[in-house]
Structures are given as C-alpha cells and as structure tokens.
Amino acid sequence: MTITASRNGQRVPTPAPQPAAPPNNSGQPVRPAATITTMIVCLPDGLSSDALTAHQLHRHFSVDGTLQARLWTMPKLRPWQRRQMFDLRKGTPAYCAGGPARLLNLTGLRYAAGVGAGIRHQQWRQAVQGTKPAQPWVHFHSRHLNDPSKYSWDTAAADFWRQPRITAMRMHNAVNPLVPLQIGELEMLQAGASAYQHYSALTAICGDALLTEQGHHITPDTDAFSDRATYLEHASHYLAGLADDQRLLAVTL
C-alpha cells in the first residue's frame, strides 16, 4: 500500500519539481495514490497510554506523524476522565487527539463540520459564479502517469491551474486568506451542497485513512471523490461499530 502526504492538505500540484513517472508497460491504467494527511488510529487494548508518545508512533504503528488535536471531547469531563485523553486542549468545545470513544463527541463534531461546510459551499458558489465546471487534479495527474513522455508533469499542472473556475477560487483565496476555499476539494464542491456537507462531516471524524485495532489499513484508492466516498462509507461504518472503551487517536502524517 502506498500512502502519500501533502504538506498543506491540498490534493493539487505543488511548485516543487516532480520526478519523472516510470513507463507504464503493464497495459493497465495507472492511478495516482490518494493523499493522506490525517489518519485515525484504533489503539489496541494492550498498549499503555503512558507509553504512547508522538515519537513512538512509528514503533507501534509504522506511522510517521504527530498527534493532531482535531476530535471533540464530551462536555464536562471529570478529572480522571481528562487523564484518559491524548493531547487535551482547553476550550469549548475541548479538542484532543483522542481517547476512549465514549468520551469523544464525534456526533457533535460531525454535525458542526457539516454546518460549516454548508457555509463554505455558499461562499464557493458565489466565488465561481459564471465559470464552467473544472476537472479535478486527479484527472490531469492520471493522464500524466499513463503517458509521461507525451504529457509532462508541467503540462498537467499548467492545464489544471489555467481552468477559469480554479482561477476564480484562487482569487477568492487571495482576498480571503484566513478562510480559503480548498482547491483540492473541487470535485466535492462541484457535487453540490448536500454532498459536500456529508463529505466534510464524515471526513471530520474519519480523516483520510483509518488503522483498525487489528492493524488493517482502510484508505481511499485515489483522491477521486468516488474513491473518497467509498473510504468514508467503510471507515464510518467501522467507527460506528466500536465499543465504548475503544481508544481512538488522530495523527497528522
């Protein structure tokens, strides 16, 4: 399994030079690997909370990353409950990197993420009004991987960025740098307000990948919305079936 990470969470080309793609002699279409920036880890029962620190993630889970305080806790935790949480932050709601499922307010986090996504979609519609639908980066990346000698990385990136809808989103972000539109979510935004809200709500609790208690990885095949949707279906179903004492941990790769 190949897991790639993006520095800024955008599933789009970066200015840095990219290595040439190897020739495709298999006859089968090459699909770019999904961008994984956040993983939800289900901790095994035998692993001590005191023993788990950021620099030990690779040792225990073969994951190179750091703890990410992205999950909500249940309100009014008792002192002994607070000690069970990972990287607990002050505030209302209180964020943490994880803890027992019964002490995590995943329902509240999912609802809030969906509401916020609805507002962002309205902003996006206003920003791109009058522009034609654009192709997501995965379309150009796949074309490059399958014919690198005729369709270079630079050409693919240029074709992606020159689309009028992408330019409109960039102009919105230039004026609103504190609340930017995620260009890597283009395909999800174009799917409509409801689809984008559901996507954002589930991603808030499922991240980009999930490591089960048994050590199995659940990941999307590519960054295409259809593959992301398949991942979110499987990951949310798995999380819904967890026991109350199952400990979860959010990790930034």
Asked, for residue 15, whether it belongs to a domain, the answer is no
Asked, for residue 22, whether it belongs to a domain, the answer is no
Q: Among 15-24, 63-72, 191-200, 206-215, whose mean pLDDT is lowest?
A: 15-24
Asked, for residue 108, whether it belongs to a domain, the answer is yes
SS3 state at 118: helix
Q: Name the β-bridge partners of 40.
A: 210, 250
- Give me the DSSP letters along 45-64: TTS-TTT--GGGHHHHHS--
SS3 state at 44: coil
Asked, for residue 185, whether it belongs to a domain, the answer is yes
Residues 3-58 have pLDDT tens digits of: 444 434 557 765 444 555 555 566 678 889 999 999 999 988 766 665 565 556 66
Peptide linkage before 44 cis (omega within 30 of 0): no
Give the whole-angstrom CA distance, residue 208 versus residue 204. 9
pLDDT, position 7? 36
Asked, for residue 4, whether it belongs to a domain, the answer is no
Query: What predicted TM-score, i.e. pTM, was given to this entire model?
Result: 0.88
HSE-CB at 28 with a 13 A cutoff on CA atoms is: 4
Asked, for residue 11, whether it belongs to a domain, the answer is no
Task: Answer whether 14's CB lies under 8 Å from 7's CB.
Answer: yes
Provide the domain count of the chain: 1
Residues 147-190 have pLDDT tens digits of: 999 999 999 999 999 999 999 999 999 999 999 999 999 999 99
Give the whole-angstrom CA distance, residue 160 versus residue 43. 40
Dihedrals phi, psi of 39, to nearest 5 degrees: -120, 140
Asked, for residue 111, whether it belongs to a domain, the answer is yes
Q: Name the β-bridge partners of 86.
A: 98
Domain of residue 127: give its range.
38-252
Asked, for residue 198, whether it belongs to a domain, the answer is yes
Task: Answer whether 169's CB lies under 8 Å from 183's CB.
Answer: yes
Q: Which of 79, 24, 46 shows the shortest CA–CA distance to 214?
A: 46
Give the whole-angstrom CA distance, residue 219 versus residue 76. 34
